[in-house]
Chain A
Amino acid sequence: MLDLDLRFTETQLQALDHGIPLRLAVHLDGAATDAMIELRFSPLPRQYELQLPNDGAVRVFASRARLLAALDRVVISDVVPERGSARVELVSSALPAPLRLPALLGRDWQLATPPRTWGG
């Protein structure tokens, strides 16, 4: 389990509250592909959902705080090397079309999470 210490901007959180899914790409050193995590909000049940990378299972949370708290406990990979680094990025291409250009150019759409290193 990796403590990614994800930090979202206010714009990103507002986008999540407005039903816009946020897809995160977790890049681990040595991994062939990025692990994908997706966060979204369902307005009718007023619950947040987290889709995990490994089994594709969806976890449901009653509040955004619980969702964000759960992110810290996400298992990205079953096998974690003794040392390495991980980098998390917001996948701007997964955003709705009108938001892609601001995501490309604006700082509000840059994930504030710094690269995470361990073992070294």
Chain B
Amino acid sequence: MRGRLFWGLPTLAGFVLLVAALWLAADAESAQSRLGAAYGWLFGVAAVAVLVLVASIARELHRLWRERREARPGARLNTRLAALLGLISVPAALLVAGFAMRFLDAGIDSWFRVDLEAAHDAATALGAQVLEREQRATLARLDDLAARIGADPVGDVQAALDLTFEGDSALVAHLASYDANGNLEALAFSTTAITQPPAPDEALRLQIGESGSVAQSITLADTLVVRAVTTVTDALGRSHLLQWIQPLPPALAPQLALLEQSSIDYAQLRFQRGALKTTFVLILGFVTLLALLATLLAALAATRRLTQPIARMAAATAEIGEGRFGAQIAVDSQDELGALTVAFNRMSRDLAELDAREQASRAETEQARAHLAAVLSRLSAGVVSVDGVRVLTANAAAADLLACPIEALIGQPLDLAAAASVAARDVIASIRGRSAEARAEWREELALPGDPPRALLLRAVQLAGDASRYVVIIDDMTVIAQAQREAAWSEVARRLAHEIKNPLTPIQLAAERMQHRFKGKLEPADAQVLDRATQTIVAQVEALKGLVNAFGDYAKPARIDLRPLALDGLFNEVLDLYESSGQCRITRDIVEPLPPIRGDRERLRQLLVNLLTNAVEAGGHGIAVDATLARRGDQVELMLRDYGPGLPPQFDGRWFEPYMSTKPKGGGLGLAMVQKIAEEHGGHVRAEQAEGGGARFVLTLPITRSLA
């Protein structure tokens, strides 16, 4: 609606201005007034129309300026095109108008050439003389008539008129006599068209009173006639006012009438010379103004229409530049711009499809990378990728193996990464040295000093296409060796159970049968020897059975039943058992309640029993023990510190392997079981010398997050 009004008003204004100009032009050429009272209104409406056009252009220019200030797409091009069209059209229109005004001025001036004016004046003077001659002649005839009436002794005016009419019938049209009161008293006429000529009025009487007689030209029934009026006093002393109406000679009348009208028109034109120029300049100004304003408005509209598709395309291009693909532009023309718009839409759609595919591919890549990262993070082996300058990636196991934070590795220059730890230094040095050889694959075993010393196995593969990039897999050979030993012990236990335990029962039965058979048949001294030997065999067989059972338990595959478990309750329960039996004197520091863990109650009970038994066996009956249980982050930490002889000097990680014991009793499986159960629960156990003497065993178990 606003758009229709916006374009409707200027169109109406332009139409009004055009009509006004044409109307003025038509009226200016005519001597007749056809506009009449509408003249003022016409100028008023034209002025309003000009204002409307100017306002429309101002509004359009303001919109253009605002769009340029807001840097809208296409605004600059729109401005340049509009300015270009304005620069082309405005000077041309002004030039045409200037020349038109100049020719118009010269044209009007040419109407009043000196020779033409002189000829016209001469013609007018000649016509005036002819007319004056006719008037004088008529007046002379009227004077003759007046003389006859004055000389008539009876004063018969009608007879005098009739006589004159009969004598000069070709020259007279109407004769009349009026008395002193203005009443018609005598009449003679021939032309029916002039049957009622006007009687001399007061003004004419006054003129006659001053000059005695008057001759003038008047128009009667559209005919120019000569009118002569005079007064006469007859012999009886009566005063008469005589009027003679005489048409002009037929040969002269049309020419004189034409000359009269021509003289009037020419005189009017001469007087209006300046005003005529002003009017024509005004008309021309209207037309020029209309052309200019309409041209400007049309230029603004045309450029806007022309640049609209380009502006839309620029906006869509900006969207694409910002990564929002798929923008479509309405195609509203079938020209080259329309074809360009169609091509742009196709390109935008293609880009959107490509972007969608690229995003899907990126998502897949990210998913694969996340999957790889998850795999790497779960690997027990360390994985590090390097180029010749820095560490590209590293997993958590690598950080653990190199005993440094993962942040100290990832993305760091090799020199900085090497400074993170001793292990990192040795590993980086090894990688650098091997990389210099530029081999596609290499492996190296690296012995790291420390307590305990560790052995790392490095296996590297060169990445395809880049000789300086390697992926290095780091394995802790110490752990592998331990696992191998554990496997070996399991095999030993299995063989013990199979090869040793099976013959033990027949041995025991054979010894008991032998004692039973020979009891009472031997001398008392021999019988005593047999009895002691038999008891020794049975006792040792029992001991061997116990040993084999213990190894069997160790080698048995773990069958744990993990359930939510309050470790503090289980710990207190086991401590109470040892405290009540007097085997230990226990000082407790147990934080309650602790978050539950997921654990197998019986396996963990065995773990605690093994640790306490280990303390009692090391320190003797009634040994003092400190028991501590607390939360450490997302783990619970259980500590048993005894005040016994402490760990042997050569104690290390291998003491958690089977058959490692300094105690005279036991099979050396207690601590091995402790470590095995701890690992079954995802935990860890370590042993260390306590300050002030004694040993300290620390067990850490993870708190299940969902249970915490």
A92 to B218 Cα, complex, angstroms: 26
The interface residues of chain A lying within 8 Å CB-to-CB of B263 are 19, 43-44
A62 to B218 Cα, complex, angstroms: 12
A57 to B198 Cα, complex, angstroms: 8
A17 to B270 Cα, complex, angstroms: 11
| A24 at the binding interface (Cβ < 8 Å) | no
A72 to B142 Cα, complex, angstroms: 31
Are A43's CB and B264's CB within 8 A? yes
Tell me which of B276-284, B429-437, B540-548, B643-651 binds A. Answer: B276-284
Indicate the size class of the contact surface on chain A.
Answer: 20 to 34
Are A101's CB and B39's CB within 8 A? yes
| A70 at the binding interface (Cβ < 8 Å) | yes
Q: A60-B218, A66-B207, A104-B43 are in contact. Are A97 and B270 (CB under 8 A)?
A: no
The interface residues of chain B lying within 8 Å CB-to-CB of A73 are 202-203
Per the 8 Å Cβ criterion, residues 194-239 of B in contact with A are 198, 201-204, 207, 214, 216-219
| A42 at the binding interface (Cβ < 8 Å) | yes
> Which of A18, A61, A98, A101 has the most chain B CB within a 10 Å cutoff?
A98
Task: Map CB proximity to B onto A47-87 as digits: 1 under 8 Å, 0 otherwise.
Answer: 10000000001111110001000100100000000000000
A104 to B256 Cα, complex, angstroms: 35
Tell me which of B9-17, B23-31, B413-421, B679-687 binds A. Answer: B23-31
Q: A44-B128, A57-B198 are in contact. Are A93 and B36 (CB under 8 A)?
A: yes
Are A98's CB and B276's CB within 8 A? yes
Q: A14-B271, A102-B275 are in contact. Are A44 and B127 (CB under 8 A)?
A: yes
Are A43's CB and B203's CB within 8 A? no
| B40 at the binding interface (Cβ < 8 Å) | yes
Q: A44-B260, A96-B272 are in contact. Are A62 and B216 (CB under 8 A)?
A: yes
| B372 at the binding interface (Cβ < 8 Å) | no
Task: Map CB proximity to B onto A31-55 as digits: 1 under 8 Å, 0 otherwise.
Answer: 0000000000011111100000000
* Residue in A15, A19, A45 whose beta carbon sits within 8 Å of that of B217 in the complex: A45
* Residue in B127, B214, B218, B265 whose beta carbon sits within 8 Å of that of A58 in the complex: B218
* Residue in A17, A46, A102 whose beta carbon sits within 8 Å of that of B128 in the complex: A46
A19 to B272 Cα, complex, angstroms: 11
A104 to B271 Cα, complex, angstroms: 17
The interface residues of chain B lying within 8 Å CB-to-CB of A96 are 31, 33, 268, 272
* Residue in B131, B271, B276 whose beta carbon sits within 8 Å of that of A20 in the complex: B271
The interface residues of chain A lying within 8 Å CB-to-CB of B37 are 93
The interface residues of chain B lying within 8 Å CB-to-CB of A27 are none
Are A43's CB and B30's CB within 8 A? no
The interface residues of chain A lying within 8 Å CB-to-CB of B268 are 18-20, 96
* Residue in A15, A59, A94, A101 whose beta carbon sits within 8 Å of that of B201 in the complex: A59
Are A101's CB and B267's CB within 8 A? no
Which chain A residue has the least Cβ–Cβ distance from B198? A57
Report the interface size for chain B: residues with CB under 8 A from the other chain: 46
Are A101's CB and B216's CB within 8 A? no
Are A18's CB and B270's CB within 8 A? yes
A59 to B275 Cα, complex, angstroms: 30
Q: A20-B271, A44-B260, A45-B217 are in contact. Are A70 and B203 (CB under 8 A)?
A: yes
Are A98's CB and B207's CB within 8 A? no
Which chain B residue has the least Cβ–Cβ distance from A14? B271
Are B272's CB and A98's CB within 8 A? yes
A98 to B217 Cα, complex, angstroms: 30
Q: Within the complex, what minimum Cβ distance (angstroms) separates A93 from chain B? A: 4
The interface residues of chain B lying within 8 Å CB-to-CB of A6 are none
Are B128's CB and A94's CB within 8 A? no
> Which of A17, A59, A60, A66 has the most chain B CB within a 10 Å cutoff?
A60
| B259 at the binding interface (Cβ < 8 Å) | yes
Which chain A residue has the least Cβ–Cβ distance from B123? A44
The interface residues of chain A lying within 8 Å CB-to-CB of B135 are 45
The interface residues of chain A lying within 8 Å CB-to-CB of B275 are 98-99, 101-102
Are B43's CB and A101's CB within 8 A? yes
Q: Within the complex, what minimum Cβ distance (angstroms) separates A115 from chain B? A: 21
Are B124's CB and A43's CB within 8 A? yes
The interface residues of chain A lying within 8 Å CB-to-CB of B127 are 44
The interface residues of chain A lying within 8 Å CB-to-CB of B260 are 42-44
Q: A61-B203, A102-B275 are in contact. Are A44 and B39 (CB under 8 A)?
A: no
A20 to B204 Cα, complex, angstroms: 24
The interface residues of chain B lying within 8 Å CB-to-CB of A43 are 124, 128, 260, 263-264, 267
A42 to B260 Cα, complex, angstroms: 7
A61 to B36 Cα, complex, angstroms: 28
Are A59's CB and B31's CB within 8 A? no
Q: Within the complex, what minimum Cβ distance (angstroms) separates A52 from chain B? A: 9
Q: A43-B128, A44-B124, A62-B207 are in contact. Are A93 and B35 (CB under 8 A)?
A: yes
Q: Within the complex, what minimum Cβ distance (angstroms) separates B574 from chain A? A: 123
Residues on B close to A: CB < 8 A?
Answer: 24, 27-28, 30-31, 33, 35-40, 43, 124, 127-128, 131-132, 135, 198, 201-204, 207, 214, 216-219, 256, 259-260, 263-265, 267-268, 270-272, 275-276, 278-279, 282
> Known contacts A47-B217, A97-B279; can you find 11 more A-B pairs with CB under 8 A?
A15-B271, A19-B267, A43-B263, A43-B264, A66-B207, A94-B33, A96-B33, A100-B39, A101-B39, A102-B278, A104-B43
19 sampled A-B residue pairs with Cβ under 8 A: A19-B265, A19-B267, A19-B268, A20-B267, A42-B260, A44-B128, A45-B128, A47-B216, A61-B203, A66-B203, A73-B203, A93-B33, A93-B35, A97-B24, A98-B276, A100-B33, A100-B39, A101-B39, A104-B39
Query: Which 9 A-B residue pairings sit nearest by Cβ, starting from the closest?
Result: A18-B271, A19-B264, A45-B217, A98-B275, A43-B263, A93-B36, A19-B267, A18-B267, A97-B27
